[in-house]
Amino acid sequence: MNNLLQTGQRLGRTWGPLLGIAIVAIALLVVAPAVLSPFRLNNLGKYVCWAIAGVGIGLAWGRGGMLVMGQGVFFGLGGYAMAMHLKLEAAMATGGPDAIPDFMVLYGDGTMPGWWEPFRSGPFTLFAILVLPAIAATILGFAIFKRRVKGAYFAILTQALAVAFATLLVATIKQTGGFNGLNQFTQFFGYNLYDPVNKRMIYSIAAVLLIVCLVVVWQLYRSRFGELLVATRDAEERVRFLGHDPANIKLVAFVVAAVMASIGGAMFAPITGIISPSDVDATASIFLIAGVALGGRSLLLGPAIGALAVGFGRTFLSESFPDQWTYFLGLLFIVVILFFPSGLGSSWSQLTSRLRTKEVAR
């Protein structure tokens, strides 16, 4: 009997997460397009983008113990890289191959900075979405982790970077559109964004990317790296004494989380039709953290489901209670923190553990 139970537990640990990912995939790729209106499906696409970033936060924070409160920076790097390409596509569709974005004529002198030019290329844009955040996170993470900055100092530093990044975007109105951001996209790599079929296609791409990120993180969790990451979170000095450099382990998780946030931002731009400083500032970064905390930061599916739930709750409450919705959302977070500090995803395990404790006490 014990052998059967142990075998069942091993199978559950192996195939349970994959079954959960499969259920999420069916819900997003099959059920949602069949039952939701185009408007609601587009809203779901926006939540999926937040969920992609949330999966990376779950890796860095839930397993690595790094409270990354500045993921808006990397979300913005991907979002603005994609938006720059989309703006150039829209300009070239109406003004020819050398046309420049409209806001540069409106706010500036009609010239385009040289660093915009490579983003006319679709392949370069996709390359930049992956590489730019990886480079930025590597430089930043190396400087932070090698100096053993962690805890509240790490969280404050990353949040300060989000504030600085958003301030920079607002100040560079001639290059990035300033407070209004980049908007009025008409094409997505040659596809008309006003066509409902193409909008559904973009939603499907975002949903597939979320599934891919979940599979990647699942593989990392069950790998040797995943074990070292948890060990670094729980006993960093012991890991160092065993001959591993905790800074390098944290750096890998931080870079992976940054790339996932960038991918989420890149899909956010065509789905919502805009990317602005308000989407990447400290408030937006905290919003991402809140979704991960709600779903359960240490679980595989928790961050993604939490981000989807927070996005849906934000829309539902703002529509039903336009003036009071923030209070309801705040109350929800307070309840979760007080009664489910590990997130709603861990509520079942907490309940079963309490029942077992009561049985042992009897």
pLDDT of amino acid 14: 66
Give which of 291, 325, 328, 289 is closest to 307, Cα–Cα: 291
pLDDT tens readout for residues 285-322 = 888 998 898 888 888 899 999 999 888 888 887 777 77
Cα angle value 175/80/24 (rounded, 5°): 170
pLDDT of amino acid 317: 79
pLDDT tens readout for residues 319-330 = 777 777 677 767
Mean pLDDT of 173-188: 91
Residue 242 CA to its chain's centroid (Å): 33
Poorest-confidence range of 186-195, 277-286, 348-357?
348-357
pLDDT tens readout for residues 238-291 = 988 888 899 999 999 999 999 999 999 999 999 999 999 999 988 888 889 988
Asked if pLDDT for residue 129 goes beyond 50, the answer is: yes
According to DSSP, the β-strands at 274-275 and 182-183 are antiparallel
Give the orientation angle of helix 302-320 with respect to helix 325-339, to 10 degrees.
150
Mean pLDDT of 73-80: 96
Asked if pLDDT for residue 174 goes beyond 70, the answer is: yes
> What is the pTM assigned to this prediction?
0.91
